[in-house]
Amino acid sequence: MEQVWLLLLLTIKVLSVTAQFNGYNCDANLHSRFPAERDINVFCGVQTITMKINFCTVLFSGYSETDLALNGKHGDAHCRGFINNNTFPAVVIFIINLSTLESCGNTLVVSSARGINAYGNTSVVQIGNVSGYIDTPDPPTIISYLPGLLYKFSCSYPLEYLVNNTQLASSSAAISVRENNGTFISTLNLLLYNDSTYSQQLLIPSTGLPLKTKIYAAVRATNLDGRWNVLMDYCYTTPSGNPSDDLRYDLFFSCDKDPQTTIIENGKSQMGRFSFEVFRFVKHKNQKMSTVFLHCVTKLCRADDCPFLVPICSNRERRDAGERTTWSPQSTSGNAVISAGPIITRSGRNEQ
């Protein structure tokens, strides 16, 4: 009788594990266990960091792929991975783009070490260490019978590499403009410069820019009919490459303007220009470097109508909208968000 019960229990266990792995490339004999350190593989690539996590042990632990997220960002779908069931075992893949490496809470810490710099000389080299973790959420209960899963990762790059490959990574946006005789597309780009002549694109040293360094920014339009100008609605900054980051600092919005920001040209040509002084985000207080991403919400407007759309920030009252004689729904295009960065700045701390 005891042998019959033992056989029955083994049968139930095998059926349970088989059902749990149903549809995925998993082996019940190999993967009926909780995750171990060997269950994550990290690939430090030239453009992305890729993590592959053994999905079979995640399933055995009672979780699905949607329970895993970068750095506790479980409410953000962009911070979750995706399943690849064409490998053995099946894996959950997470990809971090180096140009937006802090968008899901990953950490960039800069340190110094002796090594070979970009010019082949032996010197003190700045190393950027990108690190973070992938975990499961805490249950909304006092106790849980499921293990909490935690996978840590890190990649180190020469800071010069991160600067050279991500610093001037400006995004572009296409705006569709409808004319009476059809539709055309104009492309907008946000570029950063060192000087007021807008001739030298911004170069950042490996040690980062000193605080209060002046940067000149330009929004340029291409493939644009001469009757249209560029209008920057507002520009702001975030500590990550995500334009929707909850933490943001506005450079200018309507008549509200940061004191160190100067609007040079807006709505007068096919280029919008302004300057600002670099700063650090306080959240980076424990880091030697701070990262700042620039975003501009931009539209196109008819050259004759742009003066009525630019805010008049003085004691004079703005011309009444009813006096506009040429304004029409076709006078402006839709908004587009364009970005540039990261701009890497020194923390300003004195460290011995």
Residues 337-352 pLDDT 10s: 888 888 888 765 544 3
Residues 104 and 244 in one domain: no
Residues 201 and 177 in one domain: no
pLDDT of res. 217 = 95
pLDDT of res. 173 = 79
Please tell me the distance from the alpha carbon of residue 202 to that of residue 193, in angstroms, as a whole number: 4
Residues 155 and 240 in one domain: no
Average pLDDT over residues 232-242: 88
Q: What would the pLDDT profile of 99-111 be if each residue is shown by its tens digit?
A: 777 788 888 777 7
Residues 31 and 155 in one domain: yes
- Coil, strand or helix at 58: helix
CA 143 to chain centre: 35
Residues 199 and 221 in one domain: yes
Tokens coding 54: 């053994």
Residue 322 within any structural domain of the chain: no
Please tell me the distance from the alpha carbon of residue 55 to that of residue 61, in angstroms, as a whole number: 10
Please tell me the distance from the alpha carbon of residue 165 to that of residue 127, in angstroms, as a whole number: 14
Q: How many structural domains comprise the chain?
A: 2
Highest mean pLDDT among 139-153, 171-185, 190-204, 309-323: 190-204
Range name among 92-106, 109-123, 142-156, 261-275 with the lowest pLDDT average? 109-123
Residue 321 within any structural domain of the chain: no
Residues 200 and 275 in one domain: yes
Q: 258 — phi, psi (to 5°)?
A: -60, 135
Residues 126 and 43 in one domain: yes
Residues 178 and 202 in one domain: no
Bin 208: left if φ > 0, else alpha if -120 < ψ < 50, else beta: left
Residues 177 and 62 in one domain: yes
Pick the closest to residue 204 from 108, 346, 45 (CA basis). Answer: 346
CATH (domain of 251): 2.60.40.4100
CATH (domain of 117): 2.60.40.3210
Q: What would the pLDDT profile of 137-189 be if each residue is shown by its tens digit?
A: 988 887 677 888 999 998 887 766 665 554 445 677 778 776 665 667 788 88
Residue 265 within any structural domain of the chain: yes
Query: Counting beta carbons within 10 angstroms of the beta carbon of residue 116, is it exposed (0 to 12), middle (13 to 18) or buried (19 or more)?
Result: exposed
Task: Identify the domain containing residue 198 by its residue range.
Answer: 187-310+334-346
